[in-house]
Chains A and B, each alone.
Chain A
Amino acid sequence: MPLLPWTIYLTFAGALLAYLAGRQSPGAARCVALLTALAGWGVALAAAAGFTPAAALADLVNCPWIPQLGIRYHLAADGISMTLVVLTGLAATAGILFSWNIDERAGEFFALYLALIGGVYGVFLSADVFLFFVFYEIAIVPKYFLIAKWGSTNREYGAMKLVLYSFAGSALVLAGVLWAYAASGGAGFGLAQLAVAAANFTPVQQTGMFALVFTGFAVLAGMFPFHTWAPTGHVAAPTGASMLLAGVVMKLGAYGCLRVGIGLFPAGLEFFQPVLIALALIGIVYAGLVALVQEDLKFVIGYSSVSHMGFVMLGLAVASPRAVSGAVLQMFSHGVIAGLLFAVVGRMIYERTHTRQISALRALPLFRLLPFAAVAFVLAGLASMGMPGFSGFPAELTILVGAWQFSPLVTLAAVVGVLVAAAFTLRAVQLSFFGTTSEKAMPDHPAAHHVARKSRRAPAARRDHFRRPASRLPVSLDKYRA
């Protein structure tokens, strides 16, 4: 009995349990959620340890599901899926730890959260396009509620925008997949089957299907010009959800582009390759430039995600083995980095200062007040810039080398993006953590005299390890709030 499918089953069962536990107490829901995520991650790691990479997808489960339409319940994995499944387990566990402070309707929060993760696991393991699509959509709807209920800035707008973009994208995917199914004579939805059938499609069909499917998935991957949901959605989402969104959900789109779009319709890729490369390059540079001028720290990270996903899309569009492996590495790397950045900003900085405005943070000696957060942010920032020694470096390097083989000009253009990434990361680090070097500003602050009292009450806050430095910060920063 293969291990990997248990990631899906355990997670969905955990979602149900978390909902039920949440009716007893929020703490129970949290613990159930954490255990579930850990179990899922553990299963993924155990499966990865015993995994021998092969060229093709290795079957895990394969049995008929809806025989009238030739749909099978077919799960399979290769190195790419394995990488992303491990990433999902990691991001899920971290996200739950960083959502530990959610008290309001905790059961529902964690149930939706785990349902989303279950959908993600399912997508990464599906080898039947229909099954893939089902899991893909299961991963979309919980996002709306997670953001609209537990989110912050402009949450209902952000949530609706994100979900409508994703759903419109998935409608395109559905259209493309159904077209391929109809054109193949209705044999079935298996990735392998469709790939064989697609080889006989006319070039027009292949390019048309590729356009539909790739565009649909590119929306979720945050590719320019379909990226605008990403920053607003990330900013509106609660910390755990934005970690998951940037860390894993955007990868669903890229994974779909790779597995379904490029995997099934290579002729379409060949036709659209210049356009896709151009769009990816624009995304890298443009989103980086936009990140450079953002005031809200979460928007900086949101746009940086778009920029980094541009590298993934570039690797996929170049589509040489080297570029694709770089893209997969970048998916993993960005998943971890973006998760960490969002965690630092959402849970460590915003929770205590109640602001994410760079101008407000600049007035605080944040590096001294929150040294742990500062170190974490600087490390993540270095990785995000692609400094050697961090995962971002080999990932981007591999993509750039792959792109060089395609055309040196492309690499040169992408390198501009790397420079821009360094610029906006350094700006964010400098202004928000090292804005003021003296602590003199502190005693003048109107809220400063509340600080001592605040630290004496709230024993609950003291138990929370991450919150400990809170006692050294003013309670309210109304002056700086946007």
Chain B
Amino acid sequence: MLPATLSDSYSGLARALAPEAVLVIGALLVLGFDLFAGKRQSGPRAAVSALIGIAALAGAAWLTACAGPSGFALQRALDIDKLAVGARLGAYALSAFTLLLLPGSSRLRHPAEYVAIILFATVGFSLMAAANNLLLGFLAIELASLSLYILVGFDKTRPDSAEAGLKYFLFGGTSAAFMLFGFSLLYGLAGTIDLTSLGFMLRDSFSPVVLVALVMVLVGFGFKVAAVPFHLWAPDAYQGAPSSAAALVASASKLAGFAFFLRLLWPGLHSLAGDAAALPLAAGWMPVVAVLSLGSLFVGNLGALAQTNVRRLLAYSAIAHAGVMLLGIIARGGVGPLFYYAATYGLATVGAFGVVSVIERDAPCQKLTDLAGLWKRSPLLALTLFVFVLSLAGVPPLAGFFGKFAVFAAVLKLNGLGGPAGWLAILAIAFSAVALYYYLAILKQALVAGPAKDAKRIPVRRCPRSPWCSAPRCFGPRCVSLDSLAIVEPWISTGGDISISEGRTLRFAQSRKPFAFS
């Protein structure tokens, strides 16, 4: 057995898990506040819930950042290294952006529960990011997944949300079974659930059972990141889910999933990696991941070309992005490129879904043509969408380009163009030109096409006159700010009025009482 580390005491454990504890407390606070105070108020339940949720996330992020990479904890079950800290912070940020999309979503009848479940899912992501142990990893994945199933099916007013939730749940449940079976086989073979010792114990054993275990694990992994052929849930789930839930599934869950599987595959199963960079292929998980990547690039990019629904298009593009991230797993040039890619991709996706959700408050936003004339209906939203979509497309000087470039450079460094990995990278580069077509199709509707005759302005509503609710507006500037990542922060949902295209500011008092009688 490996020696225990210094932080195995309860205080060390408490320090390592403090962010998660803050999140859980935040979730309970949200529920409690809503139970005792929120239901009596008519207006700002969603905003208050979101505010508490964001506060909890900010607290967790602060604790994580202060503690920094502090090493192992809890008998090496948690590995708080740089990757864990980065992925945790990324997941918190992405969840917080998701929460910012919430206050305007009128369809949700139980906003407090929604926020609480997002926080629980974030606990799952946070544990996934740091898990160094098969059992803890599985528990974290399941905590996150179960929360996400609920979130996706949360909109009870729409049948497609329920359908999306059910599909996601059925696929997810099956894949969890596969993954658990794979994990148990790995435990049976190695006699340990610790990822670091797993690699040590399995270093010489390449039996058929190991292969079965690997395949099982990769099935679960493929499902989690929506890689082909385990992607079928994604378009339906993205289409039916409330947009903030879809944003969470697409961004934070992917980032955390990649962090965990990176840890599982590289330190855990590195002895079974095989080689996909040179011919002939050496058996192992690397060629399998390469095949998953190939399939995802093909199906994602070509599937997206045919879409007329914005959310399905984003879902297929997410599949394509998963293909690139899988390439990043193959590259052993460190986690940097992959992490950067996943984080910037997550931000851009949350932003794109954010725009969709803001539009959706007043008008449907499913078909591509629903975006028509966005530049006239809301110049700020159009500009925001422009930045996010071009970042997804990987156009410089936006962050998506640098992520892509780093991943491709890392893959090509393996063996140049001399092997399947190199060819895959070239294919992925070629597909970026294909991808530009469908991303431009979105932007064409939003920026070039004129608005439909009955299309209305899209005001980003001021919150109701409650003092509770004016607070979130302080969080971000109303203007579009391009930070060093050249990514616009999706503060839009809590910002002020943006329909100022004709030089006057219209003030909208919120007349609806969306959550009054739930």
Show the binding face of A for B, using Cβ within 8 Å: 23, 66, 68-69, 105, 108, 130, 133-134, 137-138, 140-141, 144-145, 148-149, 156, 160, 163-164, 167-168, 170-171, 174-175, 178-179, 181-183, 186, 208
> How distant is the Cα of A81 from the Cα of B461 in the complex, in angstroms?
51
**How far does the alpha carbon of A395 sit from the alpha carbon of B501 in the complex, in Å?**
49
B481 CB to closest chain A CB, in angstroms?
A: 13
Using CB atoms, name the residue of chain A closest to B406. A69
Tier of interface size on chain B: 20 to 34
Shortest CB-to-CB span from A169 to chain B, Å, is 9
Instruction: Using A148-B444, A168-B433 as known contacts, say yes or no to A179 and B412 having CB atoms under 8 A apart.
Output: yes
A164 touches B437 (CB 8 A): yes
Q: Which residue of A lies closest to B431 (CB)?
A: A171
B432 pairs with A144, CB closer than 8 A: no
Starting from the known contacts A181-B409, A182-B417, 20 additional A-B residue pairs (CB-CB under 8 Å) come to: A23-B503, A66-B402, A105-B375, A134-B397, A138-B396, A144-B440, A148-B444, A156-B448, A163-B436, A163-B440, A164-B433, A174-B405, A174-B408, A174-B429, A175-B426, A175-B429, A179-B416, A179-B422, A182-B409, A182-B412
**Known contacts A179-B412, A182-B409: A156-B444 contact under CB 8 Å:** yes
Interfacial chain B residues near A182, Cβ < 8 Å: 409, 412-414, 416-417, 422
Is A134 a contact of B429 with CB atoms below 8 Å?
Answer: no
Q: Whole-angstrom distance from the CB of B485 to the nearest CB of chain A?
A: 13
B413: chain A residues at CB < 8 Å are 181-182, 186
14 interchain pairs, CB-CB under 8 A: A130-B405, A137-B395, A141-B395, A149-B447, A160-B440, A164-B437, A167-B433, A170-B433, A174-B405, A178-B412, A178-B429, A179-B416, A179-B422, A181-B409
Shortest 8 CB-CB distances between A and B: which pairs?
A182-B412, A168-B433, A134-B396, A167-B433, A171-B433, A148-B448, A182-B416, A149-B448
Q: At the interface, yes or no: B144 with Cβ under 8 Å from chain A?
A: no
Chain B residues with Cβ under 8 A from A167's Cβ?
432-433, 436
Nearest B residue to A66, CB-CB: B402
- Complex CA gap A145/B448 in Å reads 7
Chain B 411-438 interface 0/1 with A at a Cβ cutoff of 8 Å (1 = within)? 0111011000010011001101100110
What chain B residues lie within 8 Å of A175 (beta carbons)? 425-426, 429-430
- Beta-carbon contact of B430 and A171 below 8 Å: yes
In chain B, what residue has the closest Cβ to A179?
B417
Task: Report if B336 contacts A (CB, 8 A).
Answer: yes
Query: For the complex, is B187 an interface residue (Cβ under 8 Å from A)?
Result: no
> Could you give, for residues 383-418 of chain B, a 1 whenever the CB lies within 8 Å of some chain A CB and a 0 otherwise?
000000010000111000110011011001110110
Min CB distance B255 to A, Å, is 20
Q: Decide if A68 touches B396 in the complex (CB within 8 Å).
A: no
Contacts of A160 in B (CB 8 A): 437, 440
Interface centre among B402, B414, B417, B432 (most CB of A within 10 A): B417
Q: Known interface pairs A141-B390, A164-B437. Does A181 touch B412 (Cβ–Cβ under 8 Å)?
A: yes
Q: Which residues of B contact A174 (CB under 8 A)?
A: 405, 408, 429
B22-66 interface with A by 8 A CB criterion: none
B422 proximity list for chain A (CB < 8 A)? 179, 182
Instruction: Return chain B residues, CB-CB under 8 Å to A145.
Output: 443, 447-448
Contact with A along B322-354 (1 / 0, CB 8 A): 000000000000001000000000000000000
Of all chain A residues, the one with the shortest Cβ separation from B436 is A167
- State A170–B433 Cα separation when bound (angstroms): 8
| Bound: A156/B416 CA distance, A | 38
Assembled-state Cα–Cα distance A181/B425 (Å):
14
For the complex, give the distance between the alpha carbons of A210 and B417 in Å: 14
- A309–B80 alpha-carbon span in the complex (Å): 58
Q: Which of B401, B406, B416 has the most CB of A within 10 A?
A: B416
In contact, B408 and A178 (Cβ under 8 angstroms): yes
Contacts of B448 in A (CB 8 A): 145, 148-149, 156
In the assembled complex, which residues on chain B have CB atoms less than 8 Å from the CB atom of A208?
417
Chain A residue numbers with a CB within 8 Å of B430 are: 168, 171, 175
Bound together, the chains give a CA A182 to CA B412 distance in angstroms of 6
Select which of B429, B444, B503 is within 8 A of A171 by beta carbon.
B429
- The docked-state distance in angstroms from the alpha carbon of A66 to that of B403 is 12
**How far apart are A108's CB and chain B's nearest CB, in angstroms?**
8
A105 to B379, CA, bound (A): 11
CA distance in complex: A283, B376 (Å): 43
With most chain B CB atoms within 10 A of its CB, the pick from A134, A167, A183 is A167
User: Which residue of chain B has the shortest Cβ distance to A169 in the bound complex?
Assistant: B433
Determine if B401 and A137 form an interchain contact, defined as CB atoms under 8 angstroms apart.
yes
Least Cβ–Cβ distance between A45 and chain B, in angstroms = 27
**Contact across chains for A183 and B426 when beta carbons are under 8 A apart:** no
Give the docked Cα–Cα distance between A167 and B444 (Å).
17
User: B residues within 8 A CB of A66?
Assistant: 402
Residues of A with C-beta under 8 A to B444: 148, 156
User: Are A171 and B336 in contact, with the CB atoms below 8 A?
Assistant: no
CA distance A66 to B402 in the complex (A): 10
Residue of A nearest to B435 (CB): A167
Distance (whole angstroms) from the CB of A245 to the closest CB of chain B: 18
Task: Return chain B residues, CB-CB under 8 Å to A170.
Answer: 433
Measured between beta carbons, the chain A residues less than 8 angstroms from B447 are 145, 149
Q: Pick from A23, A68, A164, A174 the residue with the most CB of B within 10 Å.
A: A174
Nearest-CB residue, chain B, relative to A149:
B448
Residues from chain A with a CB closer than 8 A to the CB of B417 are 179, 182, 208
Q: Distance (Å) between the CB of B394 and the closest chain A CB?
A: 9
* B residues 502-518 in Cβ contact with A at 8 Å: 503
Of A137, A144, A183, the contact of B396 (CB 8 Å cutoff): A137
Q: Does the CB pair B436–A164 fall under 8 Å?
A: yes
Which residues from B are CB-within-8-Å of A138? 396-397
A391 to chain B, nearest CB (A): 34
Q: Considering the chains assembled together, what is the distance between the CA atoms of A167 and B401 in angstroms?
A: 13
Q: What's the least CB distance linking B32 to chain A, in Å?
A: 46
Contact A69 B390 (CB under 8 A): no
Q: Which residues of B contact A183 (CB under 8 A)?
A: 416
**Bound: A50/B336 CA distance, A:** 44
Question: Which chain A residues border B395 with CB–CB below 8 Å?
Answer: 137, 140-141
